Structure 1
């Protein structure tokens, strides 16, 4: 590449970063270098596994998560009441979750994350949704999971997501990731937490936390944060369209 090629490349880079920091100029049309959708992908390229994502606006997975969020709104009130007066708390499930959170709050950094991962893995016994509810792929809120004492992978992940937030971890550093196990051909869900700019997976299948860069034989499909459900994409940002394709049902074996 000659000097003019280098100059053009640097102008492109400067334009992209200028749009990120200051927003697109008013006279830029949708047909310019990057579309609004592409800019959203650029901002979110620091998600777990370092892949670009696109917001999901419809579909089964989004509806399942919205249903969980509605239940979480009610459970947050109950947890706050129990946390303020534990002697009068009438929910054993809330007291059990709060005890786990207390132990985690007494620790810092990686030890805090590890305490949540270990304690919730031990508190919940693995059971398929079909065996527990007679339905396939039911997403339960933490107090429901703790009340039954059983759940599958997404129930562990949701409980850890909530417990970590209660323990003081910033919501900006918390995710739930749905991934494809390429060895067994199953979908699997885990909680993921960021510590020192590294994403650690909190998996119900293991006590040790593994960095996203060290996880093998999986393909990330979706990531959920405090605001959105997003789909991982394999294409370059400028080519991505809003994709509402949903994964298969979470495997009963998880």
Structure 2
């Protein structure tokens, strides 16, 4: 598709493509080019369509693999380029790449949060739960959030995800306790988030608010 006017992108695709060629196999370069087309063509869509399109593409394109297998570490937060390079990631990586992709298409980060939850395993009546991360979207500050999950491709309101119990969430603005509406702490408390933001910037993704 040819664009008749300049379209701003916080993702420096020239740099990302160069790094993909240097660090990874040819399929990584192809996926970076796909991401470029996806983000550019999504910028003019209504927000609901942006959410659906980004969520479906990322869930379909990448495999879920635990950090211990993928990175030989118990907990590693990958940059979007690192996730593309591996063609896989864990729940944090899915949430991060969706957050950065939607941010680039024009969705305000005020509406987006990376949300840590306790996920019940084996159904809503299960007593077994594990830590999980999803991306949540608030159309308005007081709106019920929509949940973008790598485990379920359908975007559902939080009330239709009784298997998830919110613990805390965060974005560029700060850290939110539970399902709180206002930040309760600075992102300075989240060293992994600050670290992955710095590594993203080195990769060529301008993540400043």
Band of TM-score, shorter chain: 0.5 to 0.7
- The alpha-carbon distance between structure 1 residues 97 and 81, as it changes in their structure 2 partners (threshold 3 A), is closer
Task: Give the number of the structure with larger relative contact order, counting CA–CA contacts within 8 Å between residues 6 or more apart.
Answer: 1
1:135 paired to 2:73 = yes
Secondary structure class of the residue paired with 2:177: strand
1:108 paired residue among 17, 26, 46: 46
2:166 paired residue among 220, 223, 230: 220
* Rounded Cα–Cα distance in structure 1 between residues aligned with 2:72 and 2:150: 22
Matches of residues 184-199 of structure 1 in structure 2 within 5 Å? 184-195=128-139, 197-199=143-145
2:97 paired residue among 159, 172, 190: 159
Matches of residues 1-254 of structure 1 in structure 2 within 5 Å? 79-80=11-12, 82=14, 89-90=17-18, 91=20, 92=29, 94-182=32-120, 183=126, 184-195=128-139, 197-232=143-178
Say which is worse superposed, 100-109 or 172-181, in terms of deviation. 100-109
| TM-score normalised to structure 2 length | 0.66
* Rounded Cα–Cα distance in structure 2 between residues aligned with 1:157 and 1:122: 14
User: Is the 2:115–2:136 contact (alpha carbons within 8 Å) kept by the matching residues of 1?
Assistant: yes
User: Is the 1:82–1:94 contact (alpha carbons within 8 Å) kept by the matching residues of 2?
Assistant: no
Alignment coverage as a number of residue pairs: 159
- The alpha-carbon distance between structure 1 residues 111 and 131, as it changes in their structure 2 partners (threshold 3 A), is same
* Rounded Cα–Cα distance in structure 1 between residues aligned with 2:69 and 2:94: 16
User: Is the 2:118–2:129 contact (alpha carbons within 8 Å) kept by the matching residues of 1?
Assistant: yes
Q: Which sections of structure 1, spanning at least 5 residues, go unmatched? A: 1-75, 235-239, 241-245, 247-254
* Distance apart, 1:116 and its partner CA: 0.5
Q: Which has the higher helix share?
A: 1
Name the structure 2 match of 1:9. none
C-alpha RMSD of matched pairs (Å): 3.0
Q: Which sections of structure 2, spanning at least 5 residues, go unmatched? A: 1-8, 21-28, 121-125, 185-189, 191-209
* Distance apart, 1:176 and its partner CA: 0.6
